Chains A and B, each alone.
Chain A
Amino acid sequence: MTFVMSVKMALSSVWSSKIRSFLTMLGIIIGVAAVILLVSMVSASTQQMKTQLESMGTNLINVNINRGWGSGRSVSNAELQAFCDENSDIIAYCSPAISSRGTVKYGGDNVTSSLYGVSGEYMLIKNREVVSGRNFTETDISNRNNVCIIGEYLVQELFGGMDPIDQEVKVNNEVFKVVGVLDQKSSNVSSGGEDDMILIPYSKAQRLLRNAGISSFVISASSSDYTDDATEAVENFLYKKFKNENFYNVMDQAAMMDTIDEALASMALLAAAIAGISLVVAGIGIMNIMLVTVTERTREIGIRKSIGAKTGVILMQFLVESAVISCIGGILGIIVGVAGSAGICMAMGMPVLTLADQAVSIIGSFLFSAAMGVFFGMYPAQKAAKLNPVDALRYD
């Protein structure tokens, strides 16, 4: 008796009680679909975040100085600039990045936005462009000019889309002239995000925020190959200055991405494990139905044995049957899961994953459901195989 025949027989047996087979499969279908949906959702949002991070520049290095109370610890821009100039082979640009929140007023409207004190090089480091007007000049920095560059969100909110160049706005009650507008980053301006920001010269920001030292900088490596080297050089420089590595924190974009990746991967695993529990429950359901099936078909088993079916043949027949139920359930679950995740991704404006992206969760959940079928089919199949032919033939 070949395996192919067992499969054929199992298929016809599954087909002959359609409703029961479908209900038995339902658990597997839901379990597999849930695994695929959850894993896809997590990896789609990971992809989205990665794309966002990459658009900020993969060469980016963030430096934070932990300024303890009254310690006066700080690095001046001149010091850092000098360091960067010395290492111009691996470091391309650096800029202070004093961040705060600021109230921006124009006419009667007023908006609270992210306020950054930066130099003109900030745009190059962050991959931003000044699409209309101009960038900050050396003079703006040295004279602490009251000039600002605003994001598209503020253009919409304060100016209603009208050209804001040379208009005057009030930032924390001081008058600034708008000299430039940043490129639009997100597809939907009203969500704010990276379009909801206002940039001013860092020297002005120090005054405005009564902030003598600079606590954070952004640096870009000359190419992504040098990110590690540049990070190390910055760390060495800061260690020489502070003699204590707890006083500063240097993080490159790759390390940040790794951190996010790790966090999301463990989230995906957790989600898959929770959904996996439903697969185990579905497996128990299969075992239950297979036990009923074996009892119902006791006479058939008796007949088969009386005309020469060996123990292994009967075992195989019932094992294949439960594996067929769980595999068909697995395939249907994959279809539901893939279609569902594509639908949700589209609805939520996330990137739609390709089948290759989902290969691990598809193959994994399919194999797991097949294994469930075999594992939970084993006991009923053994029960069938061990039946005594005389008793089985007499069974009504």
Chain B
Amino acid sequence: MIKIEDMYKIYKVGDSEVRALDGVSLHIKPKEFVSIIGPSGSGKSTLMNMIGCLDTATSGKYFIDGVPIENLSENQLAAIRNKKIGFIFQVYNLLPKLTALENVELPLVYQGIHAKERREMAIEALKKVGMEKRMHHKPKELSGGQQQRVAIARALAPHPPLILADEPTGALDSKTGIQVMEMLKQIHSDGNTVVLITHNTDIARQAQRVIRIADGQITSDTTNTEGVVCE
């Protein structure tokens, strides 16, 4: 599903270089549930931007679903984000002027799907996260947990093979955080590849495979042999 080979991302700050990614190689198979953990400044956000095709590396190779990413244009990257990746962000990132339903429809709009079909797909995704009753509400009329569920529905609606979650529980209280994690596990068992980025060990442990990153390099890569741990 994801194949990264010897990836570097180097920022120039004045005269000095910051190596956000310093030779990362990583292979994630389809239908895996992987968490990437590291302290702030470790390079995990940069790695997530790379995996999410939001940014391009200084050097190295990246394949998503077999498609090589380097040398793709801005618009080709947008198409890959649209079809292959569902994003879940820490701060939900819903558009405040649109209703929950319209937010979920948005990636489908960019795919050029017709209104009627789009609506059906969006409602289906909202049902999966239990938000269909509030689909005509705007984000500010929803609680944090509800907004994150709408954001999950938006990520699921176009049926992307990869779900990329960046600190999805970071802005939530522990109870709603647990609900969101249960939802991610459900998404995984429905047959999606899930990549979770976090700095919280307890959250990270819930994945099948835990990759630790520090100073732009992978320091450990362990697989939970007993499967997904539930708390």
Number of residues on chain B facing chain A (CB within 8 A): 24
A107 at interface by CB-CB < 8 Å: no
- A111 → B minimal CB distance (Å): 74
Q: In chain B, what residue has the closest Cβ to A302?
A: B93
Contact A303 B107 (CB under 8 A): no
Contact B78 A305 (CB under 8 A): yes
List residues 49-98 of chain B with CB under 8 A from any CB of chain A: 49, 52, 54-55, 74-75, 78-79, 81-83, 87, 89, 93-95, 97
Contact B83 A306 (CB under 8 A): no
- A281 → B minimal CB distance (Å): 30
- B79 → A minimal CB distance (Å): 7
List residues 375-396 of chain A with CB under 8 A from any CB of chain B: 388-390, 393
- A364 → B minimal CB distance (Å): 35
- Interface with A: B109-117, B176-184, B188-196, which one? B109-117
**How many residue pairs between the two chains, A and B, have CB atoms under 8 Å in the bound complex?**
59
A307 at interface by CB-CB < 8 Å: yes
B106 at interface by CB-CB < 8 Å: yes
B154 at interface by CB-CB < 8 Å: yes
A304 at interface by CB-CB < 8 Å: yes
Contact B75 A312 (CB under 8 A): yes
Contact B49 A311 (CB under 8 A): no
Contact A308 B112 (CB under 8 A): no
Q: How far is the CA of A69 from the CA of B114 in the complex (A)?
A: 89
Interface string of B104-132 (1 = CB under 8 A from A): 00110111100000000000000000000
Pick from A300, A313, A393: contact of B54, CB under 8 Å: A393
Contact B97 A306 (CB under 8 A): no
Q: In chain A, what residue has the closest Cβ to B112?
A: A1
Main secondary structure of the interface of B (DSSP, over half): helix
Given known pairs A13-B97, A311-B75, A312-B75, the reply for A306 and B81 (CB within 8 Å) is: yes
Q: How far is the CA of A392 from the CA of B82 in the complex (A)?
A: 17
A300 contacts across to B, CB distance below 8 A: 95
Given known pairs A312-B75, A393-B93, the reply for A307 and B110 (CB within 8 Å) is: yes
A303 contacts across to B, CB distance below 8 A: 93-95
Q: In chain A, what residue has the closest Cβ to B164?
A: A306
A101 at interface by CB-CB < 8 Å: no
Contact A389 B109 (CB under 8 A): no
A309 at interface by CB-CB < 8 Å: yes
B154 contacts across to A, CB distance below 8 A: 307
List residues 301-344 of chain A with CB under 8 A from any CB of chain B: 302-313
Given known pairs A389-B54, A390-B54, the reply for A308 and B97 (CB within 8 Å) is: no
A12 at interface by CB-CB < 8 Å: yes
Q: Which of B54, B74, B78, B81 has the most CB of A within 10 A?
A: B78
Q: Which of A299, A306, A313, A390 has the most CB of B within 10 A?
A: A306
Pick from A13, A308, A312, A390: contact of B82, CB under 8 Å: A308
Given A306-B54, A306-B87, A308-B82: 11 more A-B contacts, CB < 8 Å: A1-B109, A299-B93, A303-B93, A306-B81, A306-B93, A307-B87, A307-B110, A308-B110, A311-B75, A313-B110, A389-B55
Interface of A toward B, CB cutoff 8 Å: 1, 5, 12-13, 16, 299-300, 302-313, 388-390, 393
Interface of B toward A, CB cutoff 8 Å: 49, 52, 54-55, 74-75, 78-79, 81-83, 87, 89, 93-95, 97, 106-107, 109-112, 154
